[in-house]
Amino acid sequence: MAKVIKLRKGLDINLRGKATRETLAVDCPGEYALMPDDFCGVKPKVVVKEGDAVKAGDALFVDKLHPEVKFVSPVSGTVSMVERGDRRKLLSIRVKSLTPSLSKGEGEDSRQFTPPSEGTGEAIKALMLESGLFAFLRQRPYDVVANPDDKPKAIFVSAFNSMPLSQDFEYVLQGQEAEFQAGLSALAKLAKVYLGVSAKQTAKALTEAKDCEVNIFDGPAPAGNVGVQINHVCPVNKGEVVWTMGAEEVIFLGRLLKTGKVDFTRTIALAGSEVKAPKYYKVKVGQKLTTLLNEKLTVKNEKLTAENEKSGAGSVRIINGNVMTGLKTTAEGFLGAHATEVNVIPEGDHADEMLGWIMPRFNTFSTHRSYLSWLFGKKKEYVIDARIKGGERHMIMSGEYDKVFPMDIYAGYLVKAIIAGDIDRQEALGIYEVAPEDFAIAEFVDSSKLELQRIVREGLDILRKENA
């Protein structure tokens, strides 16, 4: 029987624009891009040059420290650009696709891999390294791409995301149950697998999954964060390593084992109040967002047009990933390697509020009942724009982080230790267990307006360098 873990701390934010359970395929004959910044902790070394022909599954770059960790092309085609920024930092490698029509179910000329007949842990790891799927494994501590030389004490997979406007994995899983189970069974050869399931999910492929320990989490966001699940099931101590993998990336592994081909097709949620008809779309990792967003937004493009100016509407913010943890991008950007949704919300750059904060605000969300909107209950949907509504100010230890942080960690004190650069204090306060996404809800309610996710990321990077 699965263990049920009840979480009371957290905050559910009910935003307008949830994706309806309808899936469409999006064809993209143009460019795809693989971005090293999506794989934290990697020092990329390019192994292709512009004009090279590649197949889906061929390496585009490797990690300098661990060359056996490959990062492969999601599609077959020709390398059209090796994009670099300041100080020759590698920003992306773009591939002009020869991808056939997804909507017509046509196949692709992909590199063929040979799944191991024995199925031992070492054989599974070797296949994942060669095919590029090992790059989707992340590790705690530091929340970076896993080190293949490590022996993890556990592998965690979270089968749900409790953040607002997030993808419903139980819906995405339909028709892919066999691949998901195959992926879990393969990971179990590497280490003990823990599968986190929401109390609202009933699919047998989740609640009765084999070769893993199923734990049911019942509580508000961020209950779906894998870091929260690790903290309650198998905490990470200094010197220990735990690996994590996204639920849909487990399906990638299952497909590879069944077909011998890399297929990075995923079902993402295009959601948000500025999307005309929020739905699910089948796309590939690295796909250009223009193909996904074209004519699907409430404005003509992400810029402030004369028509929007006249109507009083502002521009929109396109977020590569979840509205709480994703990165700001444009329609010319590319889908992130780990993104399971693309959210679009108002920028808020053209918002005029009569009388400002003194208004009762029936349509504005507040965690402190500062507005009368709380009278409508939890079912009311809100439209929240990207404004911070205030500047950075002194950090007051009011305990507001702890109210929404369901981990056995003093979040406020840990943030202060990171800002102060006190490494010993950070270790004592549990920095090895956390990732930036774990602080997303705390950042939302923070009255000091601090960029908590950025602060935690910088702290993890510094600590990793110190311990290297």
| Domain regions of the chain by residue span | 266-359, 400-467
Per-residue model confidence as pLDDT tens digits over 256-271: 999 999 999 999 999 9
Percentage above 90 pLDDT, the chain: 80
Mean pLDDT of the chain: 92
CATH number, domain 266-359: 3.10.20
| Top-confidence range, 112-126, 205-219, 287-301 | 205-219
Per-residue model confidence as pLDDT tens digits over 403-428: 999 999 999 999 999 999 999 999 99
Per-residue model confidence as pLDDT tens digits over 376-407: 888 899 999 999 888 888 888 888 999 999 99
Which pLDDT belongs to residue 99?
Answer: 60
Taking CA atoms, 143 is separated from 94, 227, 460, in Å, by 26, 10, 8
Q: Is the pTM of this model over 0.85?
A: yes
Question: Which are the contacts of 257, defined by CB distance < 8 A and separation ≥ 6?
Answer: 115, 127, 182, 183, 186
Per-residue model confidence as pLDDT tens digits over 41-99: 999 999 999 999 999 999 999 999 999 999 999 999 999 999 999 999 999 999 999 76
Q: Output the six-digit token pair for 215.
A: 């734990």
Report d(CA 63, CA 440) in Å as an integer. 29
> Torsions phi, psi of 252, nearest 5?
-55, -45
| Top-confidence range, 22-31, 97-106, 319-328 | 319-328
Query: Residue 368's pLDDT band (boundaries 50, 70, 90)?
Result: confident
